[in-house]
Amino acid sequence: MRIDVLEDGSFYRVWAPAKINLFFEVLGKRPDGYHEIETLVAPISLYDRLDCRFFKSDEPGITLECVDETGRRRLDVPCDDSNLVAKAYHVWREEMKKNFFYDKPLSAHVKIFKKIPTKAGLGGGSSDAAAFLLVLKRLGGVCICRDWLCEAAGRLGSDVALFLEEGASAGRGRGERVESFKLPELWATIVKPSFGLSTSEVYRQCSTIVGRPRRSLDDVLRALRGYEGSCFAEFFSRYVFNRLEEAASLLWDGVDSWKSTLGAIPETLVAQMSGSGTAFFALCTCEETAKRVATAVRASGLWNSVEDVFVVRTL
């Protein structure tokens, strides 16, 4: 993630990317109540911006603002301690208290300029938390090691650790066991319908899809590592998969209609829901074809039910 340090280190500006799940398999429910998953995630060129200010205080704490690109307050994003950014701050403060040589009781004010849609499966909240953790690591210096970052990310949420990596990564367990994966650049059109789904509600439906033949992330990674052709996007499109589509379709009939609509556009190689939805991505061969898909979406009969459309590349 890009982090700019301003005003003698008291002001940090960081760009937090969204992600798409290029592969997602649900292996079953764990004893701790979470689901065991395997996923291949790519960050994309769609960002939230976080302006983080730090100042000394007798009673350290954090305050949050969340606005859209025009500066209007976003009512769909909590600005209390339920926000993952606030949770990241409190986890960091606990760690700092253990280091007796750290004598800077700092408070924080974070203003989030929100561009990544919510209830989309694009990981905006998790990415914001990971971005703030990376700022805190820079602020804390030697007190914060990489192992602590990964452990803290796992405590905050299943997706957060995936955003600590540069580029694509494979996630296992709850998503907190992460390994980097080198992936050539891909272009896609992101479509966010106006309807949203709760991640927890989608996962509750996973019990109904237990017993399906499983797909293996290792098989996908092995195939991708062995690729030597000239059009990676076309080759990769055959491996794109998301088990959560089946669960989401039990809550919302738009899954099938959006997938078929995007898939029917000639420039689309494959259409897929990202994560728990409701955003979809249409994988394309290049930027120009992705732009044509976006134009086709805007001209379609479903345009009135669209919140936003983005043309993006993987990072």
Q: Which domains does the chain have, with CATH numbers?
A: 3-180 (3.30.230.10), 187-313 (3.30.70.890)
pTM of the model: 0.94
Model confidence over 152-184: pLDDT tens digits? 999 998 899 999 989 999 999 988 899 999 999
Band of residue 99 on the pLDDT scale cut at 50, 70, 90: low
Catalytically annotated residue among 48, 87, 137, 159: 159
Model confidence over 234-274: pLDDT tens digits? 999 999 999 999 999 999 999 999 999 999 999 999 999 99
Catalytically annotated residue among 19, 87, 114, 192: 19
Reply yes or no on whether 159 is catalytic.
yes
- Tell me what pLDDT residue 294 has: 97
pLDDT above 90 covers a percentage of the chain that reads 74
What mean pLDDT is reported for the chain? 92
Side chain identity at 302, as an amino acid letter? L
- Tell me what pLDDT residue 139 has: 82
- Tell me what pLDDT residue 101 has: 52
Reply yes or no on whether 19 is catalytic.
yes
Q: Looking at residues 274-298, what average pLDDT do you find?
A: 97
